[in-house]
């Protein structure tokens, strides 16, 4: 039976999980308390995002790849400063790879493409958000749509640079 939830996708993927992020603000989708602490100028807790980092580590230790591209432009929103500064750095400890497709001086080659996960090149899951950034759920699409999302992924990776390289130039 095909996975029906994002959790099931993560429990069952065998080789790779790719994520495309397109939003400037996910502040109402989780880690709300951590985001408020960041805005207040508090230091990042040493165990920040530990449950997710542990899950990532279990996948990477099993030889699975988890990676993502975030499409963004500068200046960064407060939320993106939080996500990249706290979240990406923490998640890299779990083996997740990050890439940035910076549209500050370039047009967005994926304009209109939604946020999504693509598992094992076969199962796309479109992430749905409200206008205020609240997560509304994921729509698991049939395998017949996978080629479309592989094309999006390939375009994103072609135009993106590794996060550590981008952060060294533009991190705030």
Whether 17 is in a domain gets the answer yes
Cα separation, 37 vs 80, in Å, equals 14
Residue 47 phi/psi, 5-degree rounding, is -100, 20
Whether 102 is in a domain gets the answer yes
Q: How far is CA 78 from the centre of its chain?
A: 17
What's the pLDDT score for residue 30? 79
What's the pLDDT score for residue 2? 57
Whether 161 is in a domain gets the answer yes
Domain containing 132: what range? 6-170
For the chain, how far is it from start to end, CA to CA, in angstroms?
Answer: 45
Beta bridge partners of 169: none
CATH number at residue 77: 3.30.870
pLDDT tens track, the chain, 172 positions:
555 788 888 889 999 999 999 999 998 887 889 999 999 999 999 898 999 999 999 999 999 999 999 999 999 999 999 999 999 999 999 999 999 999 999 999 999 999 999 999 999 999 999 988 889 999 999 999 999 999 999 999 999 999 999 999 998 6
Whether 1 is in a domain gets the answer no
What's the pLDDT score for residue 171? 86
This prediction's pTM: 0.94
Residue 20 phi/psi, 5-degree rounding, is -110, 125
Our count of domains for the chain comes to: 1
Secondary structure (3-state) at 116: strand
pLDDT tens, residue by residue, 62-101: 999 999 999 999 999 999 999 999 999 999 999 999 999 9
What's the pLDDT score for residue 19? 98
Q: Is the peptide bond prior to 75 cis by the omega test (within 30 degrees of 0)? A: yes
Cα separation, 19 vs 113, in Å, equals 12
What are the start-end ranges of the H helices in 66-143?
78-82, 89-92
């Amino acid at each position: 039976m095909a996975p029906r939830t994002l959790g099931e996708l993560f429990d069952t993927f065998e080789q790779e999980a790719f994520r495309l992020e397109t939003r400037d603000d996910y502040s109402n989708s989780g880690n709300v308390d951590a985001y408020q602490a960041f805005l207040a100028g508090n230091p990042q807790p040493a165990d920040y995002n530990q449950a997710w980092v542990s899950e990532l580590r279990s996948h990477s230790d099993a030889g699975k790849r988890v990676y993502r591209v975030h499409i963004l432009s500068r200046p960064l929103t407060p939320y993106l400063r939080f996500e990249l500064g706290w979240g990406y750095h923490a998640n890299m400890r779990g083996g997740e790879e990050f890439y940035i497709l910076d549209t500050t001086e370039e047009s967005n080659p994926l304009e209109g493409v939604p946020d999504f996960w693509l598992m094992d090149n076969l199962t796309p899951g479109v992430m749905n958000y409200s206008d205020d950034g609240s997560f509304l759920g994921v729509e698991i699409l049939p395998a017949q749509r996978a080629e479309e999302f592989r094309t999006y992924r390939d375009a994103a990776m072609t135009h993106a640079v590794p996060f550590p390289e981008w952060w060294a130039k533009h991190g705030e």
